[in-house]
A = this chain, B = another copy of it.
Amino acid sequence: MPAYQPPLRDLSFVLEEVLDVYTQFAKLPGFEDTTPDLGAAFLTEAGKFSEEVLAPLNRSGDEEGCHWSEDGVTAPSGFRDAYQQYVALGFPAFDQPTEFGGQGMPGVLGLAIREMLGTANWAWSMYPGLSHGCMHTIDEHGTPEQRATYLPKLVTGEWTGTMCLTESHCGTDLGMLRTKAEPRADGSYAITGTKIFISSGDHDMADNIVHVVLARLPDAPGGTKGISLFIVPKFLPAADGGVGARNGVACGSLEHKMGIHGNATCVMNFDGATGYLIGEENKGLNAMFTFMNAARIGTGQQGLAHAEFAFQNSLSYARERLQMRSLTGPKNADGPADPIIVHPDVRRMLLTQKAFAEGGRAFALYAGQLVDVARAHPEADERQRADDLLALLTPILKAFLTEVGFEAANHGLQCFGGHGYIAEWGMEQNVRDARISMLYEGTTGIQALDLLGRKVLGSRMKLLNALTDEIGAFCKQHARINSEARHQIKKLAELNKEWRKLTRKIGMTAMKDREIVGSASVDYLMYSGYVCVAYLFAKSSIAAQAGLDRGSDAGDEAFYTAKLQTAEFYYRRILPRTKTLAKTMLDDPKVLLQMGEGEFALGL
């Protein structure tokens, strides 16, 4: 049976020793009182909940799936109880604004908590997870009345939220959406249309579900400039703050999908449902973008969640499963064979999973730290700098971490041999669950266009320079460190330069041939991701070396040594992938474009 243990030691290493978040909290108004002890207490409690309550429901949730009836959707057995516990423990409110009953804790700690929930049971974690986008949208763009009506219930977790964007004929291209919003005399709107792929769209876990819906007013201009945003609650709010009449929105059916079976992916029918405009008419898409950046960091985390889950379980298996002897003679001479962890190729797969889990964790929390700075730093310059970095990093983090997370999930399965293909071990579920992450919240291809087209070239490299300057300064500062990390700093400095050079070359080409942007985009994004994780691993190595230098107990010494070895593995066995990408991203776009559309199929 698969199991999950919260990686508390690594989380505290990244938060305290690599990112030094608690020192930073002292400079952020509202977070000054968040001490390491307080943070650790929350993480421990969330880890315990994830391990003991959520992880045991992961396999059963996949097997049972969700249930549809005319009366609504029921989540798998145990999901509702777990959610009620989660609410009772106060987790939904953890990093929400105190104004609406939140605990006002830093977002980076909320992210660390959500990593554990999601690794233990990704499908379950999407029920509270989807509320974030909804809360964020209402908080940023809602009227004072809307905020007062919805946020207190969403913050406590009594109600959950969704985002209703996609229609069957448009996912990426939201400009084509058809759902209608007709104004009514009372200032509300009648919302009519069908949305698909609505995660957590209906369920029995909370008293109400607040949908944020993209729709079109009757006189709206075509395309993305005619999209407005509406709140459409499942039950209309009553005067006392509770739930009132049932609204005209219902789940028409559940999608049959590859994985995340425990989460209800709904076709949602809006049949003249009452909706309330959020923000300005026809400005809905801009409002969505603020939300999507936040959601994309969460989805990026899904990659490292599946990498961590794969790693923990394939590690246990590799230490127990006896099969063949080491090439250099028996390592378990008294047993019938050696544990497969003695085989270098099994170690290559384990270390790849470990590197993507730990490197991904550091990368996601680094972004989480920037979110706190962008929101709460007293100086505008600092907020702007964090915002710039986030604009650049978000598409990288989302697409890169989910791509390598899927790779890691597959390595985990592979370590089990044929048993990995069998459901009871949980590794094939992990692969199926991971596969959605490269699709939703914008596919890898869409993230890549956002990165290269909009963020990097669109800012004339300003956003990229914000990061490469930071990395350059870091490399300079640590150029003379006396340990294995020195090799890493040197390599990172080279790649940091090459990254800028490659970008300039693409930029030059794009002036003559705009197609290079699409032709290079995914290779460019993956290259960027490898460099970003290399940066975080170099930072981790510096912190680990500092730990060794200041003298630690034996347990800590072993931890720091393993951290340096994981970084070394990453630099030597993973990072050379940039060599291929640096070559292919610059290839002439004609190689992709020259084939006539009808000629693709001539082999048939």
What are some 25 contacts across the A-B interface (CB < 8 A)? A7-B603, A10-B604, A169-B322, A171-B323, A172-B324, A256-B422, A257-B421, A258-B428, A258-B431, A339-B597, A343-B445, A344-B515, A344-B521, A345-B448, A406-B410, A421-B436, A555-B602, A559-B603, A562-B602, A572-B591, A573-B584, A573-B591, A573-B592, A576-B579, A577-B580
The residue on B at minimum CB distance from A423 is B256
A565 to B602, CA, bound (A): 12
Question: Which residue in B13, B561, B572 is a CB contact (below 8 Å) of A584?
Answer: B572
Residues of chain A in range 316-343 having any CB-CB distance to chain B below 8 Å: 319, 322-324, 327-328, 336-337, 339, 341, 343
Query: Do B347 and A592 have beta carbons less than 8 Å apart?
Result: yes
B521 in contact with A345 (CB, 8 Å): yes
Besides the known contacts A10-B603, A13-B603, A414-B438, 6 further A-B residue pairs in the complex with CB atoms under 8 A apart: A344-B515, A351-B595, A410-B435, A562-B599, A569-B592, A576-B580
Are B519 and A354 interface neighbours, CB within 8 A?
no
Q: Is A392 located at the chain interface by the 8 A CB criterion?
A: no
- Cβ of A233 within 8 Å of any chain B Cβ, yes or no, is no
Chain B residues near A601 (CB, 8 Å)? 312, 315
Residues 573 to 601 of chain A near chain B (Cβ within 8 Å)? 573, 576-577, 579-580, 583-584, 587-589, 591-597, 599-601
Main secondary structure of the interface of A (DSSP, over half): helix
In the assembly, what is the distance between CA of A423 and CA of B580, in Å?
A: 34
Q: Does A176 contact B (CB under 8 A)?
A: yes
Q: Tell me, yes or no, whether A444 is within 8 Å of chain B by CB.
A: yes
Q: Please name the residue on chain B nearest to A196 by beta carbon.
A: B418
Chain B residues within an 8 Å CB radius of A414: 438-439, 443-445
Contacts of A7 in B (CB 8 A): 603-604
In the complex, what distance in Å separates the CA atom of A516 from the CA atom of B443?
A: 38
Chain B residues closer than 8 Å to A424, beta-carbon distance: 256
How far is B602's CA from A7's CA once the two chains are assembled, in angstroms?
Answer: 8
Give the residue of B13, B444, B591, B595 whose beta carbon is less than 8 angstroms from that of A562: B595
Residue of B nearest to A440 (CB): B418
Q: Quick check: B428 and A435 within 8 Å, CB to CB?
A: yes
Q: Is the CB of A421 within 8 A of B258?
A: yes
Looking at the assembled complex, report how far the CB atom of A32 sits from the nearest CB atom of chain B, in whole angstroms.
29
A170 to B256 alpha-carbon distance, docked (Å): 35
CA distance A604 to B588 in the complex (A): 46
Confirm or deny: A518 has a beta carbon within 8 angstroms of a beta carbon on chain B.
yes
Q: Which residues does chain B contribute within 8 Å of A344, judged by CB atoms?
A: 515, 518-519, 521, 589, 592-593
Q: Is A166 an interface residue (CB 8 A)?
A: yes
Q: Does A500 contact B (CB under 8 A)?
A: no
Query: A9 CA to B322 CA in the complex, in Å?
Result: 48
Query: How far, in whole Å, are A587 and B449 apart by their CA atoms in the complex?
Result: 34
Number of copies: 2
Query: Is residue A88 contacting chain B, with contact meaning CB distance below 8 A?
Result: no
Q: Is the CB of A418 within 8 A of B171?
A: yes
Q: What residue of chain B has the Cβ atom nearest to residue A583's Cβ?
A: B576
Contacts of A343 in B (CB 8 A): 445, 518
Q: Say yes or no: A514 contacts B603, CB within 8 Å.
A: no
CB of A568 within 8 Å of the partner chain? yes
Verify A418–B166 contact, CB threshold 8 A: yes
Contact B584 A576 (CB under 8 A): yes
Minimum Cβ distance to chain B for residue A520 (Å): 8
* A236 sits at the interface (CB 8 A): no
Beta-carbon contact of A583 and B579 below 8 Å: yes
A587 B573 Cβ-Cβ under 8 A: yes
A65 within 8 Å of B (CB atoms):
no
Name the B residues within 8 Å of A422 (CB-CB): 255-258
Which chain B positions have C-beta within 8 A of A443? 414, 417
